[in-house]
Amino acid sequence: MTPLVLIPGRLSPEAKGVREAAIASGRRYSEAIARSGGVALTVPPLESTLSHIESLVERADAVLLHGGGDLDPTLYGQTQSSDAIYGIVAEHDAVELAIVRAAIAMDKPVLAICRGIQVLNVSLGGTLHQNLVDTIADSDSHWDTYHPVEVNAGSRVAEAMGTLRPTGGHSYHHQSIDRVASDLQVVAHSIDGVIEAVEHRTAKWIVGVQWHPEDDAATDAQQQGLFNALIAATR
């Protein structure tokens, strides 16, 4: 059967072809999943969805967490300390945390991208740097740009991408992992020390990357490899 990949959607004020507020997910994620032989299913981030999370995740073959606005800092035990924080939506936080926790409990394959890696870390008790400008000298080197990434040999990320030094990878974030959850291990860094990828220590295949592989996956086999590995892990 065709693998079904659950993607938490986004509340959006508008969408083309829709007369009212919409529920959306990025097209490139679904296209990358389709190239890997799967089908994406967008789940509405509504309060009513929370009572169905376990059933939804149980029926899915895998989960993909995608990019977006920031998590509410109270979810990792902090108060807001940066004016750069943006896009907090309580429904997004609640549904995504519930989905990833259910996926971990059921040992479903998970690919967590950008905001997704941060959701994964927070779901397991980790924390975030609220703004990279307070952590590294050149925070602009991670905003809408490409930069080198060093991947650990023997990691799932290295196996999926077929390289220890990806040639691409669109970086578009102002936050990053600070304290790593105990169930996760770091498997990639940027040259300035920012954590770029993590993996669950005991799960079958749970991977988080801080960059956006979907942006280049159509033309970059290394980036597409992450989606291929997610789908392969369902079989």
The set of catalytic residues is 114, 212, 214
Using alpha carbons, select from 4, 3, 38, 8 the residue that is nearest to residue 23: 8
Using alpha carbons only, give the angle 52, 57, 59 rounded to the nearest 5 degrees. 100
Please give the helix or strand (H or E) that residue 27 lies within, else none: helix 27-35
Length of the chain equals 235
Dig out the tokens for 163 from the structure: 């390289």
Q: Which residues contact 181 (CB under 8 A, 6 or more apart)?
A: 120, 121, 122, 123, 124, 125, 126
5/231 Cα distance (integer angstroms): 8
